[in-house]
């Protein structure tokens, strides 16, 4: 992926006023709202073969690493009113018209569902000569794990006959850019951790075709593009396809300028000039190191502008945190005695003026270090900044309370959620950028409650549906070039269907996934040990949580049989599926799921529950106990209702239980609420307070020592502040009615709002004495519901109302 405004990966810049970037911001404002679904697609292109061609570069190894530039010159008699085209590439493309960046893609999918983007190019075209240009790259074996691929290719299809003069074919010119090669291929070894984000870019400015995307560039020496012998067809059509196409269903990402905030260390004076947009010239034959601090973690395309400096090298290293000599992060604000390690890019200037380097894909960082070696001439750093990028969620929810410290948790949680959402949801942006069901379920609920935007959730549901293996399970993460099956995550995919059903009204969307959900549930049913009434041995990776007691995240009994945790998760999911299938008229399956859930819960309770300890063991042998087993026992109603509060109290008080990490605390909260103990949630925020105290600006994967400093499953307070503290929950499918049952703990006042399908729902809660509450509530549109407080229930109607209890 590349930048949306003037951030072509490398190109010359005319000298401009110091505020040149204001003009660039105008370009961004003009381009970024062009969501793909706003551009109409000719119906004829959605039902068969296209007449454009997939094109590539002659003489290359089609699946190897490579960066390519494509150009097409169009002569137009007049400026068109509309000029719609549909664009895709393998692996990625960046599209320009007359030197102006227009968009990027394709949104990640798989070869059977390969996305294309649709653009109206008319605003960028003129009468006479026009140039459509595309940067295309294939990272080969160095590609991120989330990137699937067939071979290097580019595609542009005009929407109607009027635009088909732009179709990709052998009238396009292509240039193989050998300025690029991969670097930082050893990131995993550097960090002693699993990484999946791909590699860095090493770019030699001396052989880069500067200005290649501009209309005046001379491409006479470029080659005619090679037409690939493959059909261009929509999914469901064609034969002998290399890719089958689907329209992009999510908007283009947000992008905005973001300046670095501080210089933390430097071997030269005035090193902070260039992060303020003021040029700084470095002498020849120098070695210079500058550590910069964004002050908060971000996803951005770093943009470095330099002049002169032929023979120099500039290495940019990106990190969430610095490490001490023992490999510890410690307080993230501290830099003394610590060094940087991680992903990096390298740029070699060619000596030209106003050269810009920016990587092909965004980088995640709080700290950015420059290691500069100058050659025989001075190097001027003209500017350095970031272009923040993320899925364009708009934060519509608000939250304030009598505890002002919750504001930092709320804001940090939303930053975490934003950085973990792009063309898919990410588990973490720095290490993986992979979409996992367990993470995604929590992320999707955060999105619904905070932004009211369900498009990325819908894409995720469909992505996992497309990932299914022959056994019927979904893959644990998808899109992914490596197979990973996590059966417990397939259950969370079914839970995502339930969540969508409760929060949105789109029966046609959901119904097509029910057979796949039934197949997941059947896989588990086939693994029930009838002699025990619990799940027996199971294959694949039965991950539950990264706590210290579960080997590789797998609880006792998952692999060799009779795991209480996973048996009860299955029962919990069966109960959700029973409600969902009954709604869709599949009564027999719904009843079967209900009975099986009850049977599993009963057998697990009888064999694994220790009545003396009031705790659920991990297996019938009762050798180990965990919070997880008790949490799922309450959620699955394996524990009788009159015992659930006692069980939850033991879960909170018994420190010998293996503990839920940040991720599984989402389910701990769900169990507290179910047991009627949601008021304790406010007192359970210590782990998030500790992360803030330790200088984190996003919420981490695990308690220290942690790998990822930004992990979406830890942003759950942005759901629970609304769903638990305020108690706002759907009480009927499609959120057609609402239940507001506040659990404020010791908070004296809460004022919050959130997006609802009918409009904005708001609550203002004030405690009255020891047990009373005053509530001002606004329900949007035709929404009705109930307000519940300490055993009393009041009906709510559309509009503004006041409740005193």
Give the whole-angstrom CA distance, residue 73 versus residue 78.
15
Are 536 and 596 in a shared domain? yes
Reported as a single tens digit per residue, the pLDDT across 653-683 is 999 999 999 999 999 999 999 999 999 999 9
Band of pLDDT at residue 5, cut at 50, 70 and 90: very low
**CA 565 to the chain's CA centroid:** 28
Among the three residues 390, 421, 452, which one is the final residue of a domain in this structure?
Answer: 390
* Region 103-112 average pLDDT: 96
Count how many domains the chain has: 4
Predicted confidence at residue 38, as pLDDT, reads 74
Is 534 a residue whose pLDDT tops 50? yes
With a cut of 70, say whether residue 351 has pLDDT above it: yes
Q: Tell me: the pLDDT tens digits for 574-596? A: 999 999 999 999 999 999 999 99
Q: Is the pLDDT of residue 765 over 90?
A: yes
Cβ neighbours of residue 43 closer than 8 Å, sequence gap 6 or more: none
Phi and psi angles of residue 169, each rounded to the nearest 5 degrees, phi first: -165, -165
Is 744 or 36 the better-scoring residue by pLDDT?
Answer: 744
* 142 part of a folded domain: yes
CA distance 423 to 439: 15
- Distance, CA of 118 to CA of 114 (rounded, Å): 13
Residue ending a domain, choose from 251, 268, 285: 251
Phi-psi domain of 121 (left: phi exceeds 0; alpha: psi -120 through 50; beta: other): alpha
- In the DSSP assignment, the letter for residue 106 is P
- Please determine, for residue 131, whether its predicted confidence score (pLDDT) is greater than 70: yes
Average pLDDT, the chain: 94
Question: 188 with 308, same domain?
Answer: no
Assess whether pLDDT exceeds 80 at residue 37.
Answer: no
Residues 225 and 93 in one domain: yes
Rounded distance between C-alpha atoms, residue 61 and residue 49, angstroms? 27
pLDDT of the residue at 295: 98
CATH number at residue 593: 1.50.10.10
**Residue 507 forms part of a structural domain:** no
pLDDT beyond 50 at 294? yes
* Statement to judge: residues 539 and 619 lie in one domain: yes
Domain shared by 225 and 263, yes or no: no
- Bridge partners for 306 per DSSP: 355, 381
Last residue of a domain, one of 373, 390, 407: 390
- Please tell me the distance from the alpha carbon of residue 276 to that of residue 259, in angstroms, as a whole number: 8
Q: Quote the pLDDT of residue 48.
A: 85
Same domain, 228 and 174: yes
pLDDT reading at 32 higher than 80: no
Check whether 457 has a pLDDT greater than 80: yes
Whether pLDDT at 74 is above 80: yes
| pLDDT, tens only, 201-238 | 999 999 999 999 999 999 999 999 999 998 999 998 98
pLDDT tens string 144-189: 999 999 999 999 999 999 999 999 999 999 999 999 999 999 999 9
CATH code of the domain containing 78: 2.60.120.260
Q: What's the pLDDT tens digit per position in 93-102?
A: 999 999 999 9
The reply to whether 77 and 163 lie within a common domain is yes
**Same domain for 223 and 267?**
no
Residue 363 lies in a domain: yes
pLDDT at 758: 98
Give 265's Cβ-side CA count (13 Å radius): 17
- The per-residue pLDDT for 2 is 32
CA distance 304 to 301: 10
User: pLDDT band at 19, cuts 50/70/90?
Assistant: very low
What the block records as the tokens of 631 is: 């949490």
- pLDDT classification of 609: cutoffs 50, 70, 90: very high
Q: Indicate which CATH number applies to the domain containing 799.
A: 2.60.420.10
Domain assignment of residue 298, yes or no: yes
Alpha carbon 431 to chain centroid, angstroms: 12
- On whether both 638 and 774 belong to a single domain, the answer is no
Helix (H) or strand (E) holding 772: strand 772-779
Do 60 and 162 share a domain, yes or no? yes
Q: What is the pTM assigned to this prediction?
A: 0.94
Residue 374 forms part of a structural domain: yes
Q: Describe the chain by its helix, strand, coil percentages, rounded to 5.
A: 25, 30, 45
399-409: pLDDT as tens digits: 999 999 999 99
Instruction: Please indicate, yes or no, whether residues 55 and 184 belong to a single structural domain of this protein.
Output: yes
pLDDT score for 6: 29
CB 742 within 8 A of CB 726: yes
Instruction: Report the residue count for the chain.
Output: 805
> Contact, 229 vs 743, CB < 8 A?
no
Range 777-782 average pLDDT = 98
Residue 546 is assigned to a structural domain of this protein: yes
Question: In which domain, by residue range, is 787 found?
Answer: 726-805
What tokens were used for 85? 């085209």
Contact 1, 147 (CB under 8 A): no
- Report the distance separating Cα 289 and Cα 285, nearest Å: 14
Query: Is the pLDDT at 20 greater than 90, yes or no?
Result: no
The per-residue pLDDT for 17 is 32
The answer as to whether 30 is a domain residue is: no
The set of long-range contacts for 722-727, using a CB threshold of 8 Å and a minimum separation of 24, is 722/397, 722/399, 722/449, 722/450, 722/752, 722/754, 723/445, 723/449, 724/669, 724/673, 724/678, 724/681, 725/401, 725/681, 725/682, 725/750, 725/752, 726/750, 726/752, 726/763, 726/765, 727/678, 727/788
Query: Considering the chain, what percentage of its residues have pLDDT values greater than 90?
Result: 92
Which residues have C-beta within 8 Å of that of residue 424, sequence separation ≥ 6?
Answer: 108, 146, 433, 435, 456, 459, 460, 463, 479
- Do 536 and 651 lie in a common domain? yes
First to last CA, the chain: 54
In a domain, 10, yes or no: no
Q: Is the peptide bond before 430 cis (omega within 30 degrees of 0)?
A: no
């Amino acid at each position: 992926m590349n930048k949306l405004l003037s951030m072509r990966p490398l190109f010359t810049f005319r000298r401009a006023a110091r505020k040149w970037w204001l003009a660039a911001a105008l370009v961004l404002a003009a381009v970024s709202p062009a969501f793909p679904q706003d551009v109409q697609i000719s119906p004829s292109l959605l039902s068969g073969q296209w007449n454009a061609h997939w094109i590539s570069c002659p003489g290359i190894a089609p699946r190897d690493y490579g960066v390519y530039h494509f150009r097409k010159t169009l002569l137009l008699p007049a400026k068109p009113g509309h000029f719609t085209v549909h664009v895709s590439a393998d692996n990625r493309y960046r599209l320009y018209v007359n030197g102006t960046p227009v968009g990027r893609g394709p949104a990640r999918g798989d070869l059977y569902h390969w996305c294309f983007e649709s653009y109206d190019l008319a605003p960028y075209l003129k009468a006479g000569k026009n140039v459509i240009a595309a940067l295309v790259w294939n990272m080969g074996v160095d590609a991120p794990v989330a990137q699937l691929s067939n071979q290097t290719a580019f595609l542009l299809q005009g929407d109607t006959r009027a635009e088909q003069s732009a179709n990709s074919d052998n009238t396009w010119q292509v240039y193989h850019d050998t300025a690029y090669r991969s670097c930082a291929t050893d990131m995993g070894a550097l960090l002693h951790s699993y990484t999946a984000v791909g590699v860095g870019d090493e770019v030699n400015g001396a052989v880069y075709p500067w200005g290649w995307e501009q209309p005046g560039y001379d491409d006479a020496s470029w080659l005619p593009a090679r037409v690939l012998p493959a059909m261009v067809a929509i999914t469901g059509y064609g034969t002998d396809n290399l890719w089958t196409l689907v329209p992009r269903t999510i908007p283009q990402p947000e992008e905005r300028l973001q300046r670095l905030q501080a210089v933390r260390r430097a071997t030269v004076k005035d090193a902070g000039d260039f992060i303020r947009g003021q040029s700084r010239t470095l002498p020849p034959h120098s070695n210079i190191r500058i550590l910069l601090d964004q002050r908060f973690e971000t996803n951005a395309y770093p943009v470095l502008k330099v002049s002169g400096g032929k023979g120099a090298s500039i290495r940019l290293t990106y990190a969430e945190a610095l490490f001490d000599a023992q490999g510890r992060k410690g307080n993230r604000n501290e830099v003394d005695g610590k060094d940087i390690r991680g992903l990096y890019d390298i740029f070699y200037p060619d000596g030209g003026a106003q050269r810009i380097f920016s990587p092909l894909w965004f980088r995640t960082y709080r700290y950015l270090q420059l290691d500069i070696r100058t050659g025989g001439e001075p190097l001027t750093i003209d500017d350095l900044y970031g272009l923040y990028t993320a899925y364009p969620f708009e934060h519509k929810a608000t939250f304030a309370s009598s505890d002002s410290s919750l504001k930092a948790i709320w804001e940090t949680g939303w930053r975490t959620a934003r950085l973990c959402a792009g063309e898919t949801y990410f588990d973490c942006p720095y290490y993986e950028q992979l979409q996992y069901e367990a993470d995604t379920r929590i992320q999707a609920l955060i999105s619904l409650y905070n932004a009211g935007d369900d498009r990325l959730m819908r894409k995720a549901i469909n992505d996992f549906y497309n990932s299914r293996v022959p056994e019927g399970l979904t893959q644990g993460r998808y899109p992914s070039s490596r197979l990973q099956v996590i059966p417990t995550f397939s259950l969370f995919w079914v839970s995502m269907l339930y969540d969508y059903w409760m929060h949105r009204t789109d029966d046609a969307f959901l119904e097509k996934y029910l057979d796949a959900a039934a197949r997941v549930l059947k896989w588990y049913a086939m693994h029930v040990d009838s002699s025990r009434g619990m799940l027996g041995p199971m294959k694949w990776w039965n991950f539950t949580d990264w706590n210290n007691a579960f080997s590789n995240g797998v609880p006792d009994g998952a692999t060799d049989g009779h795991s209480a945790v996973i048996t009860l998760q299955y029962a919990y999911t069966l109960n959700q599926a029973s409600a969902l299938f009954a709604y869709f008229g599949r009564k027999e399956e719904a009843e079967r799921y209900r009975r099986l859930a009850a049977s599993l819960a009963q057998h697990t309770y009888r064999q694994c529950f220790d009545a003396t300890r009031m705790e659920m063991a991990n297996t019938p042998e009762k050798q180990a106990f965990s919070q997880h087993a008790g949490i799922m026992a309450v959620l699955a109603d394996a524990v009788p209702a009159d015992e659930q509060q006692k069980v939850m109290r033991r879960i909170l008080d018994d420190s010998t239980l293996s503990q839920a990490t940040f991720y599984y605390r989402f389910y701990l909260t769900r169990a507290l609420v179910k047991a009627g103990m949601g008021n304790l949630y406010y007192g359970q925020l210590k782990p998030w307070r500790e992360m803030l105290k330790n200088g984190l600006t996003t919420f981490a994967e695990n308690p220290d020592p942690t790998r990822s400093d930004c992990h979406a499953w830890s942003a759950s307070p942005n759901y629970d502040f609304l769903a638990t503290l305020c108690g706002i929950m759907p009480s009927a499918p499609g959120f057609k009615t609402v239940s507001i049952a506040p659990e404020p703990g010791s908070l004296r006042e809460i004022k919050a709002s959130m997006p609802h399908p009918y409009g904005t729902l708001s609550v203002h809660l004030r405690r009255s004495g020891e047990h009373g509450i005053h509530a001002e509530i606004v329900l949007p549109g035709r929404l009705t519901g109930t307000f519940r407080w300490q055993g009393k229930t009041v009906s709510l109607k559309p509009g503004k109302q006041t409740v005193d209890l």
